[in-house]
Amino acid sequence: MPIKVLNVAEKPSVAKEVSRILSNGGARSRRGRSQYNPIWEFCYTINGQQCDMVFTSVAGHLMELEFAGQYKRWRGCSPLDLYTAPVVKDVPADKAPLKQNLQELARQCQWLVLWLDCDREGENISFEVINVCQAVNRNMRILRARFSALIPRELQRALQQLVAPNAADAAAVDARQEIDLRIGASFTRFQTLLLQDKFDWAGGGVEAERLILSYGPCQFPTLGIIVQRAWEIQSHIPEPFWYIAVSYRPDPAAAAAANEGQQQQGQPQRKPEQQLHCDFKWARDRLFDQGVATLLYEQCAEEPTATVMQVRGRATYKRAPVPLATLEMCKSASGILRISGERIMKLAEELYQGGWISYPRTETDAYDPGMDLRAIVSEHTGDGRWGAHAAAILAGSMWKPPRPGGHDDKAHPPIHPTRYSAGENDWSHDKRLLYEFVVRHFLASCSKDAVAFETTVTIDIAGEAFRTTGLMITERNWLDVFTWATWGGNAHLPHFVEGQTFLPSELALRQGATQPPPRLAERDLIAAMERYGIGTDATVAEHIQKQLERGYAEKDAALTFWPTNLGESLISSYRRMGLDNLWKPDLRGRIEQGISRIAAGLVTKDTILAQAINAFRTDFQLANTRTQLMLNEVARFFQRRGPGGAAPGGGGGGGGGPGGGGG
């Protein structure tokens, strides 16, 4: 006799696609209690057991963590009370239809199979679904489907290998949510209530109506990185320096003889029309003492003949990329495709839900040895852009096993294409580009390293050493398919032999000046967040986007960030107050490490909660005693107002979610 199985996905689109694949297009749909979450029904066999499958979905988190009772109200308590106030996790009113839908179906089913996204957040949502369903049916058998792509072989395997949900992963998310709620709400209320009616925000270019000065324990360290780079740029004082520039361009007859010499030595030859030239770099690099630099230059100018002291040639390699993980995708694609990290993740999610790429939130950058990579490559041999390269990989002339990157989250493989497409008609331009990026990166990771011949030449002029390097690529290999990659170097280096002498084409003393660091590009911001442990692969792009939405930073057409006066004033205030934990990444990095230890089962949720909350409560108490410093610092950026002004926003929370703050 068939058993009835309730299946729950994280999004309606995933429920629809999984049902279509498992039923071979035969699933029937009907409306349930939630008009946006249809119910799909079909028959399936799980390990020999006939099942009547009922498939529906939620829409992300089913529950919200919120303060209880009076603590929801901004003036219902002191912000300091929020560190110990009771919290409740429940289904909010706007998601009541989802709860009704699940409970109505749960009453009729014997099994519950959880198809939530296979990451920590998905595991937490799984337990929210379990709590709602078990409230009306305590006897349900609870099972977890683990999958990395919406393709038949993955989904069929997942159903035959159902496992238990991971309580440790769910507990890690519970800890993060409570930390972010308590800290975010307390500091959001603190800085909003202190500052909101005391400054002419509109006159300073800030949207002043119901202004909420949101604080998040991930958000502010991210903003801190942006502000700190701006300070480095603003504080830079150009310092002049001097250096000796040497260049050499042989006459055509010498170039022809050099090419012949290279042929005799077995080195790569250049085409006759290629003009040979090189610039030599001074071994001293540069001097900040003009007098000394001038003296050394004059010595060279008096005896300008250059003697070749050393010529060294060697084969060198540019390694193929490691398999693609989420943060590398965001860093690399944002720079190459000129798309924001937030949009990259949105498009990657769409490609995943359509079955075109694997799950896009993963830390893994090493393929399982048993994964059939050649089968994936074979799907791309017919493409007019990268098909020939894919065919060469299959033929063996281009194949090299991908080198592991050293990270494995034990949940998903690296991001890779799961189905070939030449670009669907309804895809946007950016979506096509991102799919192409994933495919080309995958093929590049399965390809041989690029090979070049590198020559380093050292010369002496009047006792001063100069060096130049030439690079001729002999085998492009993976560079041919990952067309955005470059391997720079002088491919037109003249031929030199040790003991040879020549007169430089140019010998000059030049002046330069030190430069400030560049404005912070998105890929560099993501790299810094990764280095400091701010956020996760699933949340980094979101934390960056919050800076823009809350008016704390701006992003220009070149995708570089700059703080607004509002963002800089808040970071500068906490610096002036001596509370570096509130805007530098160190404390948040330690909290993220603790959350990972919860997920690994090494420590309890309560232990990490206590450590994080105690650390921030201490800083909050100090901030409360230093409010005048914050007022004075913000006054450097905004005009003070007279008595009166707008009342604080009130309501149930701050700018970032329940209770205020957010990540």
pLDDT of residue 204: 82
CATH 3.90.1150.10 is held by the domain 326-445: no
**Chain segment 361-392, per-residue pLDDT in tens:** 999 999 999 899 999 999 999 999 999 999 99
**Beta pairing class for 560-563 and 553-555:** antiparallel
| Bridging pattern class, strands 141-144 and 111-115 | parallel
C-alpha neighbours within 13 Å on the C-beta side of residue 512: 11
Q: Are strands 39-46 and 49-57 parallel, antiparallel or unpaired?
A: antiparallel
End-to-end CA distance of the chain: 49
Contacts of 240 (CB under 8 A, 6+ apart): 288, 290, 511, 512, 513
Q: Three-state DSSP class for 460?
A: strand
The whole-model pTM stands at 0.88
**CA-wise closest residue to 478 among 553, 542, 399, 380:** 399
Residues 320, 477 contacting (CB under 8 angstroms): yes
C-beta of residue 561 within 8 angstroms of C-beta of residue 519: yes
CATH 2.70.20.10 boundaries in the chain: 240-319+450-513
Q: What gap in Å lies between CA 411 and CA 361, rounded to an integer?
A: 10
The SS3 call for residue 7 is strand
Tokens found for residue 351: 């490609």
Task: State the pLDDT confidence band at 398, using cuts at 50, 70 and 90.
Answer: very high
**Each residue's pLDDT tens digit, 610-655:** 999 999 999 999 999 999 999 999 999 999 986 644 434 333 333 3
Cβ neighbours for 237, distance < 8 A, ≥ 6 positions apart: none
Q: Is 359 a catalytic residue?
A: yes
Res 269: pLDDT: 59
φ/ψ of 484, rounded to 5, equals -80, -20
pLDDT in tens, 229-241: 999 999 999 999 9
Amino acid identity, position 587 = L
Q: Give residues with Cβ within 8 angstroms of 192, minimum separation 6.
A: 211, 212, 213, 648, 649, 654, 660
DSSP states along 312-324:
EEEEEEEPPPPPB
Residues of the chain within CATH 3.40.50.140 domain(s) are 3-165
At 300-339, the pLDDT tens digits run 999 999 999 999 999 999 999 999 999 999 999 999 999 9
Residue 656 pLDDT greater than 50, yes or no? no
Whole-angstrom distance, CA of residue 295 vs CA of residue 291: 6
Q: CB neighbours of 34 closer than 8 A, spacing ≥ 6?
A: 97, 98, 100, 101
Residue 366: CA atoms inside 13 Å, Cβ hemisphere, count?
A: 10
DSSP state of 417: B
Cβ neighbours of 627 (radius 10 Å): 15
CATH of range 3-165; options 3.40.50.140, 3.40.50.620, 3.40.50.2300, 3.30.70.1560: 3.40.50.140
Model pLDDT, residue 557: 86
Q: Which of 179, 560, 135 is nearest to 335 (CA)?
A: 560
Which residues belong to CATH 1.10.460.10 in the chain?
170-236+518-658
**CA 267 to chain centroid:** 42
pLDDT exceeds 80 at position 267:
no
The residues, any chain, with a CB within 8 Å of residue 49's CB and separated by 6 or more, are 3
Contact status, residue 305 vs residue 503, Cβ threshold 8 Å: yes
pLDDT value of position 645: 47
pLDDT given at position 83: 97
Q: Which of 363, 372, 348 is nearest to 446 (CA)?
A: 372
Q: Is 213 left (phi over 0), alpha (psi -120 to 50) or beta?
A: beta
**Interacting residues of 47 by C-beta distance below 8 A, sequence separation 6+:** 160
The band of 268, judged by pLDDT with boundaries at 50, 70 and 90, is: low
Residue 246's CB is within 10 A of a number of other CB atoms, namely 24
CATH 1.10.290.10 segments of the chain: 326-445
Q: Provide the percentage of residues in the chain whose pLDDT is more than 70.
A: 93
The first and second tokens of residue 490, run together, are 């002088």
Catalytic residue among 215, 297, 352, 359: 359
HEC per residue, 15-50: HHHHHHHHCCCCCEEECCCCCCCCEEEEEEEECCEE
User: Distance between CA 177 and CA 65 in Å, rounded?
Assistant: 7
For the domain made up of 240-319+450-513, give the CATH fold.
Answer: Topoisomerase I; domain 3 (2.70.20)
Cα dihedral sign for 646, 652, 657, 660?
A: positive
Best CATH choice for the domain 170-236+518-658 from the list 3.90.700.10, 1.10.460.10, 3.30.230.30, 3.30.110.40: 1.10.460.10
Predicted confidence (pLDDT) per residue in 405-446, tens digit = 988 887 899 999 999 999 999 999 999 999 999 999 999 999
The residue whose two tokens read 């109200």 is: 73
